[in-house]
Each structure stands twice: as structure tokens, then as C-alpha cells.
Structure 1
Amino acid sequence: MAIRIRYMYVLLFVMVSLTAHGIGAGKVLVVPPALSGSHWFPLASVGQALAGRGHEVTVVVSQDIVAKRRAERPELHFESFLDQGSRARLEVMTGQMSEMAEQPVFRIMQHLHGGLIEMTRQCDLLLGDGDLMERLKQAHFQVVITEPFISQCGAIVAAHLGVPHVALLRGDPSGLDYQATGVPRPPSYVPTIVSGFTDRMTFLQRAQNSVVSCVSPVMFQWFVENMHYDQLRKYIGEEETLVGVLAKTDVWLYQMDPLLDLPRPSMPNMLNVGGILAREAGPLSEDLELFMQSSGSAGVVVVSFGSQAKTLTMERAEVMAAAFAPLRQKVVWRYEGEKPAGLGNNTKLLAWLPQNDLLGHPTTRAFVTHAGSNGVYEALYHGVPMVCTPLGGDQPGNAARAVSRGLGVRLDFNTFTTETLHKAIIQVLTDKRYQETAARLSRLHRDQPQPPMERAVWWVEHVIKHGGLPHLRARAVELPWYQYYLLDVAVFLLAVCSAVLGSVWYRCSFVCRKVCCKSGGKLKSQ
């Protein structure tokens, strides 16, 4: 009898646990883009959070990096494929992007085209690995999580497997996400992701934003659709389009927050999870903690350029080192390469640093950053003002919006000098307005009914539980362009109005002629 009661308690505990989670263990497939760094961490973190809730999470990566990924995330399962060096070549090309800022447009486009070729090659090798794709089919995954940034390989994999799709992204310069959801993007107050504008644009900025909003998506979409043309027809269907594949996405998780990324139109299946990597600061290593505490009341300045740290030239490194050396504050700098000659005794170089934990440390006073979205949101979460020196991509926009909110100042990475960088850091450190604004916005950002990571995990589990969420997709994407813009209705109404006005004109003319004829007859008779 006692054993039976014990079993009943165990069963009750299991039922309560399942009810609390709302779902049993699911099978999740993560298909990250060929790019790593800031594009990999959010996907990996969501996967790890799902694994922590009992789900079986499998990640598909290239063979040359699978050992590193397993060591980083032992909670996840990994499947691999041979990519013949395309990922490594793409990493090299990505690292050169900071050097391309001063190059002619033709050279930049040539560089971009080379990157797209490598992405296409890797996607071909992934989809063409028959044994791998068969294993993925036999696994019967319940959801596929991808980042559709330029390359849409993950979405094609989800469609090929016939599995619900969740997209986790910062934004897509091709604009395919907006087409796939049917969301309008008015250029009058929605700046493009690659611009340095806010929602308060001058006339010239609105004109520029309008041109870029029209030209940039067309250019990117032509590239992206061409790179996936053969894959769509081979693995999905002859009549399928890339927009059609993306339109089947059940949930779009945007690493955005209106507090920084400004309000914009959205659909019910488009959720904001900006700051998904930010969390309470964890303990530092003993030596790093001692260094932070040794700063005293002056505090610490954290310097990090993310995955771009290894691309800094010695010239720029010397300029930065000379700017940090006179500071009263200690400096923790993520840096790879030869040690700058002008490095001060107050500066500690690290090839990798726990960025979130450092920004959340009570001695941290400022953050010098390239304005990558992950770093900007971690600084926002911990209330740390910034000196932004954007390199490219979405970074100029991130910097512009951070500055517009009063979170810091912005410098041009290619032109700042030792004096201007030092002056900007001192300005952020000494002007109380930056500290006060950062603290206020941090409180606003944290004051949410659900942390961004919990929100992301809840929606993924919601998709698993119900096998997809087609009821959240707007029908806008299914409409032909002339119906979407109501051109057929406009033509019909114009025709009706023309017919009515024509009829009235004809009747008035007829009455006038009759009256005139009668008047003329009377005059003749007189």
C-alpha cells in the first residue's frame, strides 16, 4: 500500500511538472547560418535554454567546427557535414569587412558577392548530404530554429523536412522578412537596418531612407533569390519561391526592443526579444575580480569589439592604447594580436572576456564598443553608458539610436584620434546625464512581464505543443501585389465614379440642349 501511495505521488509530481511547463520534451533542430560570432550566440543560447527545460536540441554545423561547438555547449547534440572549407573562407571574408568601409561601392559589392557564393556552396553541401538529411528526417523534429540573415538555407531545410519553422534574427537587409509577413515598412519613420537614422528624420534623410528602402531590398533579393534558385527547385518544388518558403514561418523572434529599435508595424507572430543574451552578472575569475576591485572609486572601462577584435589594425590599436593610458580608470580590453607599444599600466588585454559579467560588475563605468547589437543590449540591461565606434552592418544604426536615447556618444572608427577618443570617454564618465539616462533606460528595459529569453522559449514551446501556428500568419503575403495595394479596387471605383459622372454630364447636357432648343423655337416664332 505504501509503495502504491509513493507511486501516486511520483505520478502526481510528473503531471504537475508537465502542466507547469505546458509541454513534454520536444525535439528541436537548430540550423545556424554559415556566419558565426554574434550570429551563433543567440541561437546557441536559446538552444541551451530549451535543453535546460528537457528538450532534445540538435544543431547542424560544418565538420571543421563541430568539435569546438561540442566543447562549448555539451548540453546540445550535434550533426555535421563536410563543407569543403566554405565556412572558413567566409570567416576570413567577414573579418575583412571592417577594411571595406573606405573601398569603392563596386569593390564592396564584389566582396559581398564572394561571400554569397560561399554561403551558397555551404548550403548546397548541407542539403546535398543525403545521409545527413535522411537522419534528420528520421529524427522527426517538431520545430526548426534558424537565423534567416541573407542566406535562407535554414528555412529551406525546415521546408524540406516539413517541420514548423521559428526564425530568430536581428533583421534582414534583404527585406524578405517583411515580404514574407506582409508588414508595411513606411520609410517616413522606419529607418533601414543599415542606416544611421532614427525615427526623427529630416527631409533629406527621409528622401535617402526612401531610396535605400526601395533599392537595397531589390538588390539583396536579386542576389539571395539567385543563390537559392536551384536549391528551391531541387529540394522544395518547381513552383516554390523564397518568399513562399519564408511565409510559412510560424514565429519571428526579433532581437529588438522599441526602447532602442523604435516602434514599427508588426504582425501577431512577430515578437520582440531584444536583449536575449543579457542576464544578471555572474562571478568573474579570481585574477579578473582582483583587477576590477583594484580600480577603487575610479572604476573600470570595458572595451570590446566582439568578433571584430582580431581585425583591428596596429595603427588603430596604437591610437586606442594611447587614449586609454592617461585614464584614472582601469581598462579591460578584448584584444587579439601584437601588444601595442603605447599600452598603459592601467590596461589589461584579454583574447576573450565575459562581456555580460563585466558590464554588470559594480565597478564598471563605461563601455567602448563597435555597437554590435548583443553588446549594446547588454550595456542597456546593466545601465552602462557607451562610446560607440561602429564598423558596419547594423552597427551605425545601433549607435545612432543609442546616442539619440542619451546612452552615450558616437565616433567614426576610421577617423577618431587619441585625443577625440580620450575626450569622448571622459565625457561619458564625467557627465552625470549619461549615467542617469542609462540607469533609467535599464529600469525600463528590465520592467517586462517576461524576460526576453523566457519569451523566446515560451513561443518555441508553443509551436511544438500545437504543431505550428498558421492562424497567426496574415494573408497579406498570399495576395497578388495589385490586390495588396487595392489597385483593382481603385480601378473599379474609378470606373464607377467615371460612369456616374459621365452619366450626370450626359443628362445635364441633354437637358441643356432641350432647353436651348425650346428657347430657340420660341424666339423664331416671335
Structure 2
Amino acid sequence: MAIGSRYMYVLFCVIVSLTAHGIGAEKVLVVPPAISDSHWFPLASVGQALAGRGHEVTVVVSQDIVAKRRAERPDLRFESFLDQGSRARLEVMTGQMSEMAEQPVFRTMQHLHGGLKEMTRHCDLLLGDGDLMERLKQARFQVVITEPFISLCGAIVATHLGVPHVALLRGGPSGLDYQATGVPRPPSYVPSIISGFTDRMTFLQRAQNSVVSCLAQVMFQWLMKSMHYDQLRKYVGEEETLVGVLAKTDVWLYQMDPLLDLPRPSMPNMVNVGGILAREASPLPKDLELFMQSSGSAGVVVVSFGSQATTITPERAEVMAAAFAQLRQKVVWRYEGEKPAGLGKNTKIMAWLPQNDLLGHSKTRAFVTHAGSNGMFEALYHGVPMVCTPLGGDQHGNAARAVYRGLGVLLDFNTFTTETLYQAIMQVVTDKSYQETAARLSRLHRDQPQPPMERAVWWVEHVIKHGGLPHLRARAVELPWYQYYLLDVAVFLLGVCSAVLGTVWYSCLFVCRKICCKSVGKLKSQ
């Protein structure tokens, strides 16, 4: 009987622990943007980590991609809506981004405006799906996680549902996130996300950074306001603004790190989680492992342009293939398209790479990249020097700051030749300073009390636990502009100083006149 009672007690404890775990599970809604996979992966990874902790994570995606997303993330739940092909058109436009570098500014603006129109259509169809929105309301989510990079559709959904909001983003050219948090961003040492500057700028660079930051904010905010104006009025409120919606965000998870993004002002609800996708390397597939080991002491160069691999033209691919063929190292190249005629025997092309696992491999010597933030942080985590060839967006800034830290070299994607690419790769492979710097910064990046993913999950659960964190929001965003810049105080102090100085002046003048009058009277009497 004693043994039976003991087994019953153990069984009872197991049942209680499982039940308690189930009660602790909360409902999380993820609303990803309708753009490239590089923006989806961080959100999906955070959702996966939350699901691993027992939470019920639901993702809203368009009908045309829901099957692919389910296959990628079977642990997540999905809700879908018909977007009438807007997401697919946006994907094509994003893939053409590298071509915009050679186009006139007017053509680039037309391309951007067309993309924003598709984002507006995508968001309209999401918010306008009455059945979907009703299901989301009935589900009673505890938190909504979005990426308010350019489109603020997810933030509008969170406000419409009345659910606490967590933003996961790299940054944005509009500057709306900084306005919504009330944090200052001095252009004297905080470079614009689309610039190639560091925090050590010359006079001309500071002037250019100020102008670029201002113009980018004005342009993107105007475009975003026109994009979301009707949606705000219809689904949030007549008087609501984009800054007002974003100001309700409880926590901002920034995919940044002072090592690569440089120190800058922040608020208590702004948390750095740069390197959220980086992790220890997993074993490679057998055929890929054999290829890596066959490189011997020379090692391997990993080449990847992320989701923009499809944008590489055949002409550029031939230039790159010829440079890779000259290397002693083996090359693993993520490339989609017709096999280049000059492809060397040392080069293995693949439509998809286990990028993190390759960068963490002992045979990897260098990383040729477009300087997307995900790959850049994976290279930092594993201590791999880079050859940066940015294509657009924040990549020019990423590349400039990686070079500034001594992590690699910079090339212009549209103008490098076979020889200059070969020389750049050889420079980072043979010059020990790059390897040593990458290893040192990797140690610094890893030496944190919490890994970035654990920190992100902790903050999301912190928001869930307390139903929002309004005490972390700065009062700055609620102040009128003249109060924020203390213009009313300046006018008051100026008035007080003027009154005091005027009183002193007229008092002195009065005394002088009295003295002068007495002196004149004495002279006349004499």
C-alpha cells in the first residue's frame, strides 16, 4: 500500500504541474509586415520561443502564404485573410530594391510610393476582414507583437483590439518610434539609419546627417500618414494620430547592439535585443559538412545576400563567380538563378543556406554579405570578418559601422570588379587584425547577463503578467512641442530678465537724472 500511495502521490504531482503549466499559458498574437522574409524571421523566432514556453501563439498572414508559414513553424497557429495578391506584389518590389540604386531619385520615389500603396491595400484587407477581426477579439489575446518598420498595420490592430503592444524592430527612416517614445536623437552623433556615417562625423557629415534625417522623417511620415489616415479614423478614432498609436506601445525591442549600432539615448521601455537570431551552430547536413572539411587549412568563405539573393543579375553573378574561382578557399554561395559560366570548382551554390550554422563552423574564414542586420549579427556572434556590399535600406549604415569597428571592408555592389572583390576577400582572410577584432567583439557581444532571445521573451512575458507597462512610458510624448522644447519657459525667463534689466536701467536713469538736476541747481545758485 505504501508503494502504491507513493506512485499515486507522484502521479498527482505530475498532473498538478502540467495543469499549472497550462494555466500559465497565455495567448499571443503576432502581426508581421507584408514584406521580405528578413522581417518575418525575427518575429517568427520570438513567437517560436514563446510557444516553447507553453504560450499559444497565433500569427496573422495572407492566404497565399499561410501553407508555407505553417510548414516552417508547425508549433504556431495561423489566421489568414485574402489580400488579393498585395503581399506577392510587395515581394517583387522588394526584390527590385538593388536596381533602384542606379535609378534617378524620381524613379526611386515612384517605386517607393507603389510599395506603400500595396502596403495600404494589404492593411485595408486585413482590418476590413470582419470575420477575422471578430475572431481575434473573441480570442482575448494578452499581447500583440508587431514590427512597425514602415507599415503600422500591426500597431493599429493592437489598438483596435485594446491589447498591450510590443514592437520588435531594427529601426525606421520615419523617426516615428523616437517621437512615440520621447527619446532625443541628436544628429550631432546619432547617424540616420539610411546614412553611412558613424558617431564620429566631420562638420560636413553632421550637416548632411541633419538634412538627411530631417528630410527622411518629413517624407516618410507624410507617406505613412497618407497611408494610414483612413484606417486610423475608421478603426481607432477620429482624433487619433500615428504617434498616438505608437505611443501606446508598452515595450520596444530593438534589434540593436552598442557594438554595431553605437551608443545612443534610450528610455526604460527600449530594450536592445541585437543578435536575436544568432545561436550556437548546429551540425551541418552530411554533404555540406564533407564540403567544409575538404577545404583543409585554407577554410571556407560564406556568401549570402539573404532574401535579396534573387536580385543578383547574371552579369554581377559572373563577376562574383570569377572572383571566387581565384580563391584558395572553398566557397559556399547562396545563389538562385542560372549557374554562372565562370563558376569555379571550389564553389558550391545553394538556393538556401543554414547561414548561422555555417558562420559558426570552425572552417569559416570570411563572410561576403549585403550587410543585412540578421546576417551581420550572426557574423558578430561567431566572430567572422565580413566583406560588406550593401544594396539599400539600412545596409549602408550597417556596413559603415561594421567597417568602423574593424570587422571588415566595404565594397560598392554595383561597381566592384572581379579583382577588387578578390582583393577584398583576401584582405580579410589574410590580415590577422580582422580575425582578432572579430573574435574580440564576439566575446564582448556574448558577454551579457541574458542572451538577446531570453531577454526579448522575458519582456514579452513581463507585459503579459502585468497587463501592460504604462509606467515605463515617458511623459515627453504627451507634451505640446513648445513645452517639450521649453519655449514657454524660455519666453517667461526672457520676460523676467527683460523686466529686471529694464527696471535696473530705468532706476539708474532716474537716479542719474536726479543727480544731474541737483548739480545744475547748485551751479545756478552759485
Q: Shorter-chain TM-score: which interval? A: over 0.9
DSSP 3-state at the match of 1:101: helix
Aligned match of 2:262 = 262
CA offsets 1:429-486 (integer angstroms, 9 cap, x no match): 1000000110000000000000000000000000000000000000100000000000
Q: Distance in 2 between matches of 1:121 and 1:106?
A: 23
Letter in 2 for 1:130: G
Aligned match of 2:374 = 374
Aligned match of 2:10 = 6
Letter in 1 for 2:292: M
Aligned match of 2:345 = 345
Q: Distance in 1 between matches of 2:7 and 2:300?
A: 60
Q: Distance in 1 between matches of 2:100 and 2:280?
A: 36
DSSP 3-state at the match of 1:249: coil
DSSP 3-state at the match of 2:102: coil
Structure 2 residue 274 is matched with structure 1 residue 274: yes
Aligned match of 2:445 = 445
Structure 2 residue 419 is matched with structure 1 residue 415: no
Q: Could you tell me whether the CA contact under 8 Å between 2:36 and 2:94 is conserved in 1?
A: no
Letter in 1 for 2:211: V
Q: How does 1:131-150 map to 2 (within 5 A)?
A: 131-150=131-150
For structure 1, the residue ranges without an aligned partner over 5 or more in a row are none
Aligned match of 2:179 = 179
Q: How does 1:231-242 map to 2 (within 5 A)?
A: 231-242=231-242
DSSP 3-state at the match of 2:344: coil
DSSP 3-state at the match of 1:333: strand
Letter in 1 for 2:256: M
Aligned match of 2:188 = 188
CA offsets 1:91-146 (integer angstroms, 9 cap, x no match): 11111110010111111111100000000000000000000000000000000000
Aligned match of 2:27 = 27
Q: CA deviation at 1:11?
A: 6.5
Aligned match of 1:488 = 488
Aligned match of 2:250 = 250
Aligned match of 1:315 = 315
Aligned match of 2:387 = 387
Q: Distance in 2 between matches of 1:519 and 1:150?
A: 78
CA offsets 1:227-285 (integer angstroms, 9 cap, x no match): 10000000000011110000000000000000110000000000000000000001111
Q: Distance in 2 between matches of 1:394 and 1:240?
A: 29
DSSP 3-state at the match of 2:28: strand
Letter in 1 for 2:157: V
Q: Distance in 2 between matches of 1:5 and 1:309?
A: 58
Q: Distance in 1 between matches of 2:58 and 2:435?
A: 42
Q: CA deviation at 1:10?
A: 3.3
Q: CA deviation at 1:24?
A: 1.4
Aligned match of 1:289 = 289
Aligned match of 2:75 = 75
Q: Distance in 1 between matches of 2:497 and 2:213?
A: 34
Count of residues in correspondence between the two structures: 522
Q: Distance in 2 between matches of 1:504 and 1:426?
A: 74
Q: CA deviation at 1:5?
A: 3.1
DSSP 3-state at the match of 1:228: helix
Structure 2 residue 62 is matched with structure 1 residue 62: yes
Aligned match of 1:464 = 464
Q: CA deviation at 1:13?
A: 4.5
Letter in 2 for 1:494: L
DSSP 3-state at the match of 2:282: coil
Aligned match of 1:111 = 111
Aligned match of 2:356 = 356
Q: Distance in 2 between matches of 1:439 and 1:2?
A: 54
Q: How does 1:78-89 map to 2 (within 5 A)?
A: 78-89=78-89
For structure 2, the residue ranges without an aligned partner over 5 or more in a row are none
Q: Distance in 2 between matches of 1:235 and 1:324?
A: 53
Q: 1:419 to 1:3 in 2, by over 3 A?
A: closer
Q: Distance in 2 between matches of 1:326 and 1:114?
A: 42
Q: CA deviation at 1:206?
A: 0.5
Aligned match of 1:508 = 508
Q: Report the TM-score, using the length of structure 1 for normalisation.
A: 0.98
Could you tell me the percent identity over the aligned residues? 87
Q: Distance in 2 between matches of 1:464 and 1:24?
A: 11
Q: Could you tell me whether the CA contact under 8 Å between 2:251 and 2:269 is conserved in 1?
A: yes
Q: Distance in 2 between matches of 1:474 and 1:10?
A: 45
Aligned match of 2:202 = 202
Letter in 2 for 1:240: E
Q: Report the TM-score, using the length of structure 2 for normalisation.
A: 0.98
DSSP 3-state at the match of 1:277: coil
Structure 2 residue 421 is matched with structure 1 residue 424: no
